[in-house]
Amino acid sequence: MKFLFASDSFKGTLSSEQIIRLLTDSANRIFPGCETLGVPIADGGEGTVDAVIAVTKGEIKSVPVHGPLMENREASYGIFHGDSAIIEMAAASGLPMVPTEKRNPLYTTTYGTGELIKDALDAGYTNLSIAIGGSATNDGGMGAMRALGIRFLDEEGNDLAGTGADLEKVRDIDLSGIHPAVAKARITVMCDVNNPLTGPDGATYTFGKQKGGTEEILHKLEAGMKQYAQVIGEKLGMDVDKIPGAGAAGGLGAALCVFLHAELKSGIETVLDLIEFDQLLEGTDLVVTGEGRIDWQSAFGKVPSGIGMRCKKKGVPAVAIVGGMGDGADKIYEFGVKSILPTINGAMEIEEALKRAEELYANGADRLFRMIQVGMEMKR
């Protein structure tokens, strides 16, 4: 009997590594001598770099960068397989890096994310994967592109710093100084939204408020983003609003596609490809996945659906252990997950459930493996 454990973390309570340990202990108790393999998993959000580096046995590299307000920071990214790097924009341009009272997307920049990309290119890495969730920015990706040698100019030919406030001032784009390694790099962007750059469903009106944008600020940013899109169209002949996901991360999705010729791809699919998950399924009898809460959203780019679909294609059954179930949780059955087992085993306050997360998960794992044992003993 071979089990593969590939669960997302339960945010704020259990890491993927803790879950692997709990599942391994339970499986060995109930199926002595069984074979187990555990891999940390993330969907392109928090923990993606750590998960990929753990499985690929890569390294973490720390570099000095500028944060969202151009303050000095230290950020890190992962390197693996000799030619590959994985970057989380949240490490250099993430919303938690900006104090609540200073959050204003007019003044934040993705410059630090560009510095991480530049460092990877300088070091000779040619396969880059970039997770762009959790941003503090709405600069259209100008800051990141500036760090890579692209110049954004106002009507007088002056260089713009690349903040949200600069969007409306853009009149020209100079690509002559772009980092030479971009031409040979293969860049994949982990993105699970399809928002356009502008409009009611665009970067500004969809995500700007959570980054500190008032109604007045959002109107100003949207006007600027339209100006930015217009200049890109005039100079490069591209309609960025026709690129699904261009509005991700305050428009960084657009910049990565337009200027770096990146491919936008599902976060979980990218992670599973990077860790060669399909190969791990060979000879596996059962996969256990999961996340903190499963509901209708779990079918769209989350760990359980990504794992489930890979298992379905390979004919390997998958089950999910979860902290809780919400509306539409049963939709996950369409994506290869055969059963859902919540860890909560009685009525309790959320605070108690969080405090007892490890104990509850261990009990849930035991119930799962005992049920499998019963199934094996049933007469057909």
Would the pLDDT of 192 be above 90? no
Cβ-contact 80, 53 below 8 angstroms: yes
Q: What is the pTM of this model?
A: 0.90
Q: Which of 262, 314, 336, 323 is nearest to 290 (CA)?
A: 323
Mean pLDDT of all residues in the chain?
Answer: 95
Is residue 380 very low, low, confident or very high in pLDDT (cuts 50, 70, 90)? low
Is residue 379 very low, low, confident or very high in pLDDT (cuts 50, 70, 90)? low
Q: Where are the domains of the chain?
A: 2-39+282-377, 48-267
pLDDT (tens digit per residue) in 244-274:
999 999 999 999 999 999 999 999 999 999 9
Is residue 193 very low, low, confident or very high in pLDDT (cuts 50, 70, 90)? confident
Q: What number of other Cβ atoms are within 10 A of residue 69's Cβ?
A: 18
CA distance 4 to 35: 9
Would the pLDDT of 333 be above 70? yes
Would the pLDDT of 103 be above 80? yes
Would the pLDDT of 40 be above 80? yes
CA distance 254 to 30: 51
Angle, helices 267-274 vs 48-56, to 10°: value is: 20
CA distance 138 to 105: 6
**2-39+282-377 and 48-267 agree in CATH topology:** no
Structure tokens at 198: 């502008």
- What is the four-CA torsion angle of 308, 310, 311, 312, rounded to 10 degrees? 80
pLDDT value of position 163: 98
Tell which CATH architecture fits domain 2-39+282-377: 3-Layer(aba) Sandwich (3.40)
pLDDT (tens digit per residue) in 160-181:
999 999 999 999 999 999 999 9
Structure tokens at 252: 């960084």
| Among the ranges given (41-45, 110-114, 325-329), the one the predictor scored with the smallest mean pLDDT | 41-45
pLDDT value of position 46: 81
- Listed in sequence order, the residues at least 6 apart from 376 whose beta carbon sits closer than 8 Å to its beta carbon are none
Mean pLDDT of the 206-224 span: 96
pLDDT value of position 45: 82
Homologous superfamily of the 48-267 domain (CATH): Glycerate kinase, domain 2 (3.90.1510.10)
Angle, helices 252-260 vs 215-236, to 10°: value is: 10
CA distance 361 to 342: 9
Q: What number of other Cβ atoms are within 10 A of residue 93's Cβ?
A: 35
Q: What number of other Cβ atoms are within 10 A of residue 171's Cβ?
A: 17
Is residue 301 very low, low, confident or very high in pLDDT (cuts 50, 70, 90)? confident
